[in-house]
Structure 1
Amino acid sequence: MTGRLVRHAKAGGVATITLDSPHNRNALSAGLLRELDEALTWALGESGVRVIVLTGAGPVFCAGADLKEPKAAQVTTAFPDILSLIWESPKPVVCRLNGTARAGGLGLVAACDFAIAPETASFAFTEVRLGVVPAMIAVTCLRRLDPRAAAEYFLTGEVFTARRAAEIGLLTRAVPDEDLDATVAHYTGMLLRGGPEALAITKRLVREVPAMPVEEGLRQMAALSAQRFTSEEGQEGIRAFMEKRPPAWGAVLGTTWGDAS
């Protein structure tokens, strides 16, 4: 895959997708977005893939739009599809930030289900300082961020730390650099233990249930709960628990980032 801007590999049920354009800090060029779309589509369609890890090469995860491209604004037509693929993915997506992220790169971070960054990483929504706006990434970021923090950083463009990013909901965790891979391994290992159908449905619950009226939510969730207890996957999980053995889907536990107990 020499010369490509995005690499992908599969090991132990985990697909790792790597932004590999360090010469421009993994900026969202037309070429990188095209290859990222291809890699995500591959991972989503690959039956052996249970969890997706999105990461980058070099010291920066993603610097946002590639402003050096002659038609940088046109790249934005491809970006919504990428964010939608990640957000709507039935397979959990873990963002392993290899370093700093800016602007559009934060849209990718927020679209993922989990985001783990080294404490040395920094973040900023720099759009307003260029006279543009964080329009598309607002769709994913505003679903993660504390409202006051969103106003603060969207409007000022100020740089903030990884610890602060975790405090305001942009990151799942900020960890010492040396603990990054072990932490990602912990999450991927835990995710591999969940039933694939149950994980996909639970992803939707996290997003949709808070917006439901309480009575309607309870009615719908009671029906869903009953359905899942009688489903093939649910029955297998219950049998495995009673028989003190791994469920059928638990046979694949090795991951690119190591096992987690």
Structure 2
Amino acid sequence: MTAPRLKVSRGALATVRLNRPEARNAMDAGFFQELAEAFAGLSADPSVRVVVLSAEGKDFCAGADLNWMRSAGQLRGEEARKDAALVAGMCLAVARCRAPVVARVQGGVYGGGLGLVASCDIAIAGLESRWCFSEVRLGVVPAVISPFVLRKIGAGQALRCYLTAEPFTAKEALAMGLVQEAVPEAELDAKVDGVVKRIMANGPGAVAEAKALVRKLAAPELDAELAACIETLVRVRSTPEAQEGLKAFLEKRPASWSKAG
């Protein structure tokens, strides 16, 4: 029997755990939808006070599944938009979850995985974690995650990270504002537990209202921004450059950008 790709538990402290360690928790269309539905369900449950998002295995999330990305690049028109909107739906469900969402992050975090972290309210990372907005290496762009990322790290940091695709450390992620704390891996669970306890010691209604207020003020045009980002993703991932970049990565060879031009 195949193990579920997502483990969800309910209660005052709810948990959502990515469970595809054999693929470094890479996400495809079904995974995006499962995550969105899980967070929507938790948001609708008034007994949930805090949600902790974590992942099985060595890596938190390798981003989007590249086979899915390559096949999605063949879609056109409304079908392509609906597919791209799944990523937006996942990030929105996390960001708009009524209860605060705390991310526990270890290992590698790449591409869309950073968007998932940026959608959370608080992120706590292990010092050994490794981060990278790797999309342009593949001929694509971090489109739909950008409204969430930019509100955490700002345009200046986003430009450097996006355009260079340079990897960075947990300490650098902390300095950017992408995560709120970075601790040794051995202390990660204790630090997350401490943050959860501090949240749960407060008035649940006030906590939910405070989160909603900050989210509303920080992103008043979020829906319009996401619509524009979806159009960008649909356009870019169907280009010869994107198809060459993804094909080259899967074939473990350097991309030939001149052939894709």
- TM-score of the superposed pair, with normalisation by structure 1: 0.75
Unaligned runs of 5+ in 2: 74-79, 221-261
Match of 1:250 in 2: none
Residues 26-81 of structure 1 show CA distances to partners (whole Å, capped at 9, x for unaligned) of 11112322321232122112232110111111011111110123624555331111
> What is the distance in 1 between the residues matched to 2:100 and 2:7?
19
> What is the distance in 2 between the residues matched to 1:142 and 1:210?
11
Aligned: 1:15 with 2:23: no
Aligned: 1:78 with 2:86: yes
> What is the distance in 2 between the residues matched to 1:146 and 1:62?
22
Larger Rg: 1
Alignment size in residue pairs: 211
Aligned: 1:98 with 2:106: yes
Match of 1:180 in 2: 188
8 Å CA contact 1:117, 1:174 repeated in 2 = yes
Shift of 1:203: 1.4
Matched position secondary structure for 2:10: strand
Aligned: 1:201 with 2:209: yes
1:152-163 alignment to 2 at 5 Å?
152-163=160-171
The AA in structure 2 aligned to 1:38 is E
Name the CA shift for 1:169/1:72 in 2 (closer, same or farther; >3 Å): same
The AA in structure 1 aligned to 2:195 is Y
Match of 2:29 in 1: 30
8 Å CA contact 1:29, 1:72 repeated in 2 = no
- TM-score of the superposed pair, with normalisation by structure 2: 0.75
> What is the distance in 2 between the residues matched to 1:209 and 1:143?
11
The AA in structure 2 aligned to 1:29 is D
> What is the distance in 1 between the residues matched to 2:201 and 2:166?
39
The AA in structure 1 aligned to 2:110 is R
8 Å CA contact 2:44, 2:98 repeated in 1 = no
Aligned: 1:116 with 2:116: no
- Deviating more after overlay: 171-180 vs 198-207: 198-207
Query: What is the aligned-residue identity percentage?
Result: 40
Match of 2:48 in 1: 49
The AA in structure 2 aligned to 1:34 is Q
The AA in structure 2 aligned to 1:26 is N
Residues 145-189 of structure 1 show CA distances to partners (whole Å, capped at 9, x for unaligned) of 043221111110000000000000100111001110011001110
> What is the distance in 2 between the residues matched to 1:49 and 1:208?
21
Unaligned runs of 5+ in 1: 213-261
8 Å CA contact 2:63, 2:109 repeated in 1 = yes
8 Å CA contact 1:19, 1:32 repeated in 2 = no
From 196, 199, 202, the equivalent of 1:191 is: 199
Name the CA shift for 1:205/1:44 in 2 (closer, same or farther; >3 Å): closer
Name the CA shift for 1:32/1:209 in 2 (closer, same or farther; >3 Å): closer
Name the CA shift for 1:58/1:210 in 2 (closer, same or farther; >3 Å): closer
Shift of 1:85: 1.0
8 Å CA contact 2:103, 2:123 repeated in 1 = yes
> What is the distance in 1 between the residues matched to 2:219 and 2:42?
30
Name the CA shift for 1:210/1:44 in 2 (closer, same or farther; >3 Å): closer
> What is the distance in 2 between the residues matched to 1:190 and 1:29?
34
- Deviating more after overlay: 167-176 vs 26-35: 26-35
1:177-256 alignment to 2 at 5 Å?
177-209=185-217
